[in-house]
Amino acid sequence: MARTEVDDNLLEVITRSLPDLRKSERRVAEAVLSDPASALSVTLAELARRSNVSEPTVIRFAMAIGCEGFRDLRVKLARSLAFARTTSHSAISTADDLPALIGKVFDFNLSNLNWVSTRLDQEVIGEAVAVLSRANQIEFFGYGASAIVALDAQQKFPMFGVPCGAPLDGHQMLMTAAMLKPGDVAVAISNTGETEAVRRAARLARAQGATVIGISGSQSPLLEDCDIGLVIETLENTDIYTPTVSRLSAMVVIDILSTAVSLARDETEQKRFAAMKAVLAKTRAGQRDEDEA
C-alpha cells in the first residue's frame, strides 16, 4: 500500500497496513511490531536477517508504509515510540498521589492535542471558515458532553455580529433546525456521531437549505448528514480514570474556527469586537465606568 504521508504513530500505520503488504514485507512488519525498541537499534542487514528477507525487501517495506527509506523508517519509529511512552506513562491508577495525577492529566491532554493537530484537515477547516464567515445565522447542536462545546461556541461567534444559538434539548434542536434557511449554518457536534438527536437536527437543517458542518470522530455516521465533515481523531481511552479528551479537542477546534472567522472579518467588525472587549474589561474588579466615578 503506497503512502505519500506518514502519521506520527508509525506503529499504528504498520498495524493498519498489514493486510495490504506483501507476504515478505509482512514478515518485516511483524518483526518491527514484536519488538519496536530493538528494531530501532539494529542495522538494515540485521533487521533483514531477523525477518528472514533480503535487504531490498526491508527497503520496499519502508516505502510501502510511506517512509523514504530505512533511515527515515528509524526516525519515524523513534518518534512513534516516544509518543507511545508519553501516552502509556499518562495512564492513571489508584496508586497515584496528587502530584502524579496532576502530571498525568496534563501529559495525556497535551499528547492528545498534539495528536489531533497533526491530523486536522486544513483544507476542510478552510471550507468551514469560509461558510461560517458569510453565515446569516449559526446554530450549534450538541448533546451531553458535546452540549458544553456547543455552548462554548455560542459564546464566541456572536462577537462577530452573527446571531447564534445552541439549543440543548432534542425538541428545541428540531424546532431550531426547521426554522433555518439558505445562508444559515448549522454546526453539529458529536464525538461518536451516533447521537440521534444531533443527527436528526443536522438532517432537518440540511433539508431546509442550511449548510451543515459536522465536527466528529473518524468513520462517524453524523458526517453522512453534513455538507462539510471536520474529523477530530483523538486518543480517547475507555479506561475509567483516563481523562475524556474529545470535549477539549472539540473546544480547541471551535477556537480555531472562531479565531479564523474573526481574522476574515472586515476592519469594521474587528473594531466592534475591540470595543466589546473594552466594555467587558471595565466590568472587572477595580474598574468603573466614567459615569460611576
Rounded mean pLDDT, 106-122: 82
- Model confidence pLDDT, tens digit, residues 197-255: 999 999 999 999 999 999 998 889 999 999 999 999 876 554 555 557 889 999 999 99
User: Residue 6: which pLDDT band, with cuts at 50, 70 and 90?
Assistant: very low
The beta-strand segments (E) located in the chain are: 138-142, 164-165, 185-190, 211-216, 228-231
pLDDT of residue 5: 41
Q: At what angle do helices 23-34 and 55-64 cross, to 10 degrees?
A: 80
pLDDT of residue 85: 57
* Cell output for 201: 437536527
For the ranges 4-18, 140-154, 279-293, the lowest mean pLDDT is seen at: 279-293
Rounded mean pLDDT, 179-201: 97
pLDDT of residue 4: 36
| pLDDT of 277 over the 80 cut | no
Alpha-carbon torsion 32, 36, 40, 43, what sign?
negative
Rounded mean pLDDT, 186-203: 96
Q: For residue 287, how far is the Cα from the chain centroid?
A: 39
| pLDDT of 61 over the 60 cut | yes
Higher local confidence (pLDDT), 74 or 291:
74
Domains present along the chain, CATH in parentheses: 10-88 (1.10.10.10), 122-280 (3.40.50.10490)
pLDDT of residue 1: 39
Rounded mean pLDDT, 261-282: 75
